[in-house]
Each structure stands twice: as C-alpha cells, then as structure tokens.
Amino acid sequence: MGKQGGLVPTGWDGSVSSTWGMTANGSTIVGLGFLTAANAHAVKWDEVNGMVDLGSIVQGRSSRANAINASGTVIVGWQDESNGTRSGAKWQDGVESFITDNNGNNVGEAGGISADGSTIIGSANPNPYVWNAVSGLTYITHPNASFSFKGGATGISGDGTKVIGYYRAFGAPPMSGEGFIWTSATGRVNLNDYAVSLGIATNGVTMGLPLAISQDGKKIAGMGVNASNQMVAFYLDTSEYLSVNDEVKEKNNMDIYPNPVTDILYFKGTGKIEKAEIYNLVGQRVKSFNTVEGQIDVSSLSKGAYILEYSVKGEKQQTYKFIKK
C-alpha cells in the first residue's frame, strides 16, 4: 500500500529550519535553514533528495527561499549583501543571482513567482515590483508612495498576469491599508474599486490586505476591516463576473481606450456611432451623447466603474465596462 501522508520533519543538521514556499503539487518545499545561531541559508527539500543547501553568493551572509515555481526549477527569496542590505534573489537551476531593476540595481526581497518561473514579485521600498524575464522590472506605483506609505506584492496568478498586494501607512495595522490588483494593462487598481467595477457587493468590507490569489487569478483571499472597523477575513470570487477589459459585444471593429480613463474616452474602429449612454452600476443613466465623433468627454464623472452602451450603425447595441480614474 502506498504512503498515506503524515507529518514529516524536514530537519537541518539537528538545528532549526522553517518552510516558506511549496510547489503547486506539494512535492518540493523551500525555506530557511540555520547553519549557526547567526547565519542561515536558503534550503530546498523533497522526498528523494532530502534537504539541499542553496547557499549564499555573499560569503558569511544569510539567504532565504520564499517561493518556487511549478516545476521546481526557479526559486526566489532574499540574499543579504555584504553591507547587510537585504536584496531580492533567484536561483535558476540551482544558480543564484540578484534580482535587478532595468538600471542594474539590486531590488528588495522577492516573495512570489509565476508557474513557469518567468515572472517574479517583490517589494522595493516603497514600491512593490514585478520582474519579468523578457520585459524586465516594473514598479507598482501609488501617488502617495513614500517611506511613510509603503506597498508590498503578496500574490501572483499562475500565468503571471495578475498581482495582488497592498499599500499602507508605516506602522499602521496590517489590514488597515489599501488592497490592490495589478495587471500590465490596467496598472494598480484598488481592490474594492475592482470588485465594484465587476458588480460585486463588498458589504462594507475594506479589503486592505489581500494575501493569496488562485492560479487562475479569479479568487482572492485576505484580511480587511468591516464597517465597524473590526478585523475580518475576506474571500473575493470573480469567476462569474466580467473584468473591466472583458467586453460584452458582438464581433465588430470597435473598441474603447484608455481604460481606466481620466478625461477623454476614445473609440477605435470603422463603425459609425449613432448614440452613446453611460450608466452607473446601479443602472442609473448619468450621461448621454447623441453625437459621437470618435471620442466622448467623461471628465465630469466621479471616480468609479461605469457601463458604456452605444449603438453602431448597422449593428446591435454594444456594451463596455470602464473605470473612471
């Protein structure tokens, strides 16, 4: 009979080790193993090879592994530099290197990785970052970001296209900040605004600290506060809802941009627009345009999510969701 599972201590030379990450199938775990009371290395464990020391590229300094991709070929975490600075690191097929920005500078600790290992998330005071093997490093910015208002990236979808995280005041309770979801197309979007844009009721909960996102990027869990400022757990399931970029439309040559938008919303395509109307998410019409010449002015709208309906000559009415910044 095969093994039925159970608790297996990883061990580390009779001392202490801790687990920080695991492959999707649970076959390999990564973390930290102490060499001495003051020095530790990133480690990897599986049933076949047992505990493997991933080492340190800075002699006498510590490292730690925080996450591992699906196949176990790429591991990410941190590496202490010679001056004590804690920087992001990755181990590709066992070879360690620092994670750097597009100017070659080391960035902060890495905390997550896509299934194929090509996209990494981390924190670089005060902005979170997304590093990609092809496009390089992108910071997830916030207009109020500073050394007293910092952010972190906490989760990444399996395909690397969606990242969750937070921004909050330095020293404030963890769940008191602003949760976000980020994609390369939309940038950082407040997680509550994102939910509302999909037509999901947040029930008075501020989703301040998203902590995990499913591999398909449709389910998010974390901590927040309710309308009474009490700490609560939240679970956001967007599976049955269209995202801001998922249009409900027939096949045609029309499109809108930018989305999110600040002032002018442009139409792209060859069809002639006969009429356009904008509704809020409770179904109230807030703007109407009888004449559309390739663009509409939405600058007077309050920040939030809206539904745009317009008629193209010779085609059915088209519907788009968009966010007003």
Instruction: State pLDDT tens for residues 78-98.
Output: 999 999 999 999 999 999 999
| Domain end marker among 245, 267, 299 | 245
CB atoms near residue 101 (< 10 Å): 16
Mean per-residue pLDDT for 244-248? Answer: 45
Q: How many folded domains does the chain comprise?
A: 2
Between residues 42 and 196, the one the model is more confident about: 42
- Residues 243 and 185: their CA atoms lie apart, in Å, by 12
Mean per-residue pLDDT for 121-132? Answer: 96
| Residue 12, in any domain of the structure | no
Domain of 297, CATH number, reads 2.60.40.1930
pLDDT at 14: 43
Which of 42-51, 95-104, 189-198 has the weakest average pLDDT?
A: 189-198
pLDDT at 7: 52
Q: What percent of the chain has pLDDT over 70?
A: 89
- Residues 276 and 287: their CA atoms lie apart, in Å, by 8
Mean per-residue pLDDT for 224-247? Answer: 81
Residue 291: DSSP 8-state: -
Q: Do 275 and 192 reside in the same domain of the chain?
A: no
Residue 108 has pLDDT above 90, yes or no: yes
Q: Do 229 and 320 reside in the same domain of the chain?
A: no
Q: Tell me the average pLDDT of the chain.
A: 89
Question: What separation in angstroms does the CA of 289 have from each of 15, 106, 274, 292, 320?
Answer: 71, 51, 9, 7, 15
Residue 233 amino acid letter: A
- Residues 245 and 310: their CA atoms lie apart, in Å, by 16
- Residues 79 and 84: their CA atoms lie apart, in Å, by 9
| Domain end marker among 188, 215, 245 | 245
Residue 248: DSSP 8-state: B
Mean per-residue pLDDT for 306-323? Answer: 80
Q: Is 313 exposed, middle or buried (0-12, 13-18, 19+ CB in 10 A)?
A: exposed
Residue 236 has pLDDT above 90, yes or no: yes
Residue 11: partners with Cβ closer than 8 Å, 6 or more residues away: 17, 51
**Residue 295: both structure tokens together:** 């663009």
Q: Which long-range contacts (CB under 8 A, 24 or more apart) does 249-255 make?
A: 249/318, 249/319, 249/320, 250/315, 250/316, 250/318, 252/312, 252/315, 252/318, 254/312, 254/318
| Residue 159, in any domain of the structure | yes
pLDDT at 294: 87
Between residues 316 and 166, the one the model is more confident about: 166
Between residues 251 and 164, the one the model is more confident about: 164
Residue 244 has pLDDT above 60, yes or no: no
pLDDT band at 251 (very low <50, low <70, confident <90, very high): very low
| Residue 13, in any domain of the structure | no
Question: What separation in angstroms does the CA of 290 have from each of 28, 128, 274?
Answer: 61, 44, 7
pLDDT at 93: 96
pLDDT at 318: 77
Indicate the pTM of the whole model. Answer: 0.74
Mean per-residue pLDDT for 178-186? Answer: 94
Between residues 284 and 306, the one the model is more confident about: 306
Q: What percent of the chain has pLDDT over 90?
A: 70
- Residues 102 and 104: their CA atoms lie apart, in Å, by 6
pLDDT at 198: 82
Provide the residue range defining the domain that includes 268. 254-324
pLDDT at 15: 59
| Residue 276, in any domain of the structure | yes
| Residue 210, in any domain of the structure | yes
Q: Do 166 and 291 reside in the same domain of the chain?
A: no
Among the ranges 99-103, 244-248, 280-284, 319-323, which has the highest mean pLDDT value?
Answer: 99-103
Residue 135 has pLDDT above 80, yes or no: yes
CA 100 from chain centre, in angstroms, equals 19
Residue 171: DSSP 8-state: T
Between residues 310 and 8, the one the model is more confident about: 310
pLDDT at 293: 85
pLDDT at 11: 54
